[in-house]
Amino acid sequence: MIVAPKIRGFICTTAHPTGCAKHVAEQIAVVKSRGPIANGPKKVLVVGASTGYGLSSRIAAAFGSGAATMGVFFEKPGEPERCGTAGWYNSAAFETEAKAAGLYARSFNGDAFSDAMKATVIEAIKADLGQVDCVIYSLASPRRTHPKSGEVFKSVLKPIGSASYTNKNLNTGNGVVNEVTIEPANEDEIAQTVAVMGGEDWEMWIDALQSAGVLAEGVQTVAYSYIGPEVTWPIYKNGTIGRAKEDLERVQRVLDGKLASLKGKAWVSVNKALVTQASSAIPVVPLYISLLYKAMKAEGSHEDCIEQMDRLFRERLYNGNPQPDEAGRIRVDDWEMKPALQELVGKRWAEVNTENLAQLGDFEGYQTSFLRLFGFGLDGVDYNAEVDVSIGVPSLA
Ligand code: NAD
C-alpha cells in the first residue's frame, strides 16, 4: 500500500510503518549519542510502551542502560489493505532494533487495566526475567473498564467549578486561533476521570507484581504527570485531569510505604508539555505548546519525549540525585517552567492571534511533530513507495 496521512480532528487514522521505524531509530540514536547510563535499570516493565513518553522510556532503558524490556500497550495491528496504529509499528521497530542489539524485548497487546493482562505479564516476568527492577506507568486512555466491578469509566477534559471556562484555542488543522468555551464537569465526570487517569490502576499493578514476588529489591516505579503554567490550569491542573493527577500523587505516597520492605521507591515525574496523541486532544494545550516550542527552540532548550526520558533516567532516577520538589515529585519540566521563559510565553499568549501565530508560535513545528507521531515527514523515507502495512510485532507473532 502507499500510505498518506489522513487526519480527522486531532487524530491521524493512518500510520506509516517505515516512517514509524525511522522515528524509533532516531530516538535510539539520541540515546546512544549520549553514551551508556551508568547504574541504570536492567529489567524494565513499561505499561503504555508504544507511543509518547512510554515508548521513549522503553528506548532510554533499553538503549541507554542495556535493559531487558517488557512493554504493554493497546494497539491495532495492520491488515493487508488497512493500516495498523502507529504504536503497533513503533513496537515492531523497537523489537527489531532491540533484537539486533542483543537486547531482550517482549510485548503484550491488550487492556492494561484488566486483571488478565496483569496475570499474563507476571507469568512472563517469572518465566523470562525472574524479577523487574523498574516499572514505568505511562498510560493515557479515554476509558477504563474496572477489573472488579466491570463498570466502564470515561474521562473528560473539563474545568471544575461553577463557571464555564473560555480561553484561546488553536485549530490544529488550519492554524486558526479562536476561542473555546467549556462547561464545568459535574461530580460524576470528575470521579470517572479520576477512575481512568488516577492512581488506582498503578497501585493495582504494583500490588499484583509485589505479591507475586516479581519486584526486585531497590525497585523504582514512576508515573507521569503534568502541571504547566497558569493559563492552562483551569483545563489541566485545576480541571478533571488535574484531579486524576492529584490521585496519582496520593498513590505515589501509598506505594512508597508498600515498597519500603523492598527498599523500593515510587515517583511521580512531572514532564514537559509535548505533542503526543494524548496531548493533542486537550483543548487550549496545543496553542500553548506552539508558543512553548518557539520559545524553547529559540533558546536551545527544546526537548522531545526521548530527550526528556533520557534525562529522567540519566540525571534523576539513576544518578543518586533525583532532585525532588517540595511535594516529592521529580521535575523534568524544569526547563519548561523557568520563570523567564514562562514570562515570554505568557506575554505571547496574550498577544497571539491567527495572523501572528507564525511569528509568536511554532505552528509548523507543532504540525511536523504531530505527523511524525504517525511516521510521516521523516527524512530518508520514500513515501511514494509501496509499504507492507501488515507487519507484525515479532514477540506477538
Ligand atoms: P500516548 O497517547 O502517546 O501514550 C499512551 C500509551 O498508553 C500508549 O502506549 C497506548 O497504547 C497505551 N494505552 C492506552 N490505553 C491502554 C490500555 N487500556 N491498555 C494498555 N495500554 C494502553 O500518551 P503520552 O502523552 O505519552 O502520555 C503518557 C503519560 O504521560 C500520561 O500519564 C500523560 O498524562 C503523561 N504526560 C504527558 C504529557 C504530554 O504533554 N504529552 C506531559 C506530561 C505528562
Domain boundaries, the chain: 7-157+189-276+302-335+375-396
Helices 86-100 and 17-33, packing angle to 10 deg? 50
The atom of ligand 1 lying closest to the CA of 226 is 43
| One-letter-per-residue 3-state SS of 41-104 | CCEEEEECCCCHHHHHHHHHHHHHHCCEEEEEECCCCCECCECCCHHHHHHHHHHHHHHHCCCC
CA of 386 to the centre of ligand 1 (A): 30
**Whole-angstrom distance, CA of residue 9 vs CA of residue 359:** 24
**Whole-angstrom distance, CA of residue 157 vs CA of residue 235:** 7
Q: What is the DSSP letter of 35?
A: -
pLDDT for the residue numbered 330: 98
190-203 residue pLDDT tens: 999 999 999 999 99
DSSP per residue over 97-129, as a string?
Answer: HHHHTT--EEEEES-TTSHHHHHHHHHHIIIII
Report the Cα 108 to chain-centroid distance in Å: 17
DSSP per residue over 322-335, as a string?
Answer: ----TTS-EETTTT
Question: What are the cell numbers at 16?
Answer: 506509516
Q: Which of 8-17, 127-136, 194-203 has the lowest mean pLDDT?
A: 8-17
In Å, what is the CA distance from 88 to each residue of 61, 236, 275, 373, 385?
19, 29, 19, 12, 20
What pTM was estimated for this model as a whole? Answer: 0.98
Q: φ and ψ at 239, to 5 degrees?
A: -100, -165
> Are residues 93 and 19 in contact, defined by beta-carbon separation less than 8 angstroms?
no
Average pLDDT over residues 328-340: 98
CA of 359 to the centre of ligand 1 (A): 31
**Whole-angstrom distance, CA of residue 371 vs CA of residue 13:** 11
Indicate whether 10 pLDDT > 90.
no
235-284 residue pLDDT tens: 999 999 999 999 999 999 999 999 999 999 999 999 999 999 999 889 89
As annotated, the binding site for NAD(+) includes 48-53, 74-75, 111-112, 139-140, 245, 274-276
Average pLDDT over residues 333-362: 97
Indicate whether 394 pLDDT > 90.
yes
Question: What are the cell numbers at 138?
Answer: 505511562
Indicate whether 111 pLDDT > 90.
yes
In Å, what is the CA distance from 77 to each residue of 73, 90, 387, 394?
12, 11, 15, 12
CA of 51 to the centre of ligand 1 (A): 7
Across all residues in the chain, what is the average pLDDT? 97
- ipTM associated with this complex: 0.99
In Å, what is the CA distance from 35 to each residue of 29, 30, 164, 314?
10, 9, 49, 10
Q: Which among 11, 51, 252, 267 is the best mutation to test ligand 1's pocket, defined by most ligand atoms within 8 Å of the CB?
A: 51
Question: What are the cell numbers at 340?
Answer: 523567564
**Whole-angstrom distance, CA of residue 152 vs CA of residue 55:** 26
pLDDT for the residue numbered 320: 93
CA of 279 to the centre of ligand 1 (A): 9
The atom of ligand 1 lying closest to the CA of 289 is 40
Indicate whether 177 pLDDT > 90.
yes
Domain 7-157+189-276+302-335+375-396, CATH? 3.40.50.720
Query: 9 falls in which pLDDT band (50, 70, 90)?
Result: confident
> Any alpha helices (H) in 224-362, and if so which ranges?
240-259, 285-299, 305-312, 339-351, 357-360
pLDDT for the residue numbered 13: 96
pLDDT for the residue numbered 110: 98
Which of these, 274, 285, 294, lies nearest to 51 by C-alpha position? 274
Q: Which of 14-28, 167-181, 199-213 has the lowest mean pLDDT?
A: 167-181
Average pLDDT over residues 92-116: 98
pLDDT for the residue numbered 241: 97
Report the Cα 292 to chain-centroid distance in Å: 18
pLDDT for the residue numbered 326: 97
Query: 137 falls in which pLDDT band (50, 70, 90)?
Result: very high
Indicate whether 94 pLDDT > 90.
yes
> Are residues 352 and 366 in contact, defined by beta-carbon separation less than 8 angstroms?
no
150: helix, strand or coil = coil
> What residues are in contact with ligand 1 under a 6 Å CB criterion?
48-54, 72-75, 87, 111-113, 138-141, 224-226, 271, 273-274, 276-279
> Terminal CA-to-CA distance of the chain, rounded, Å?
21
Strand partners, 135: 45, 221
Output the residue whose Cα is nearest ligand 1's atom 27.
140
pLDDT for the residue numbered 70: 98
Indicate whether 162 pLDDT > 90.
no
Question: What are the cell numbers at 225?
Answer: 504527570
As annotated, the binding site for substrate includes 226
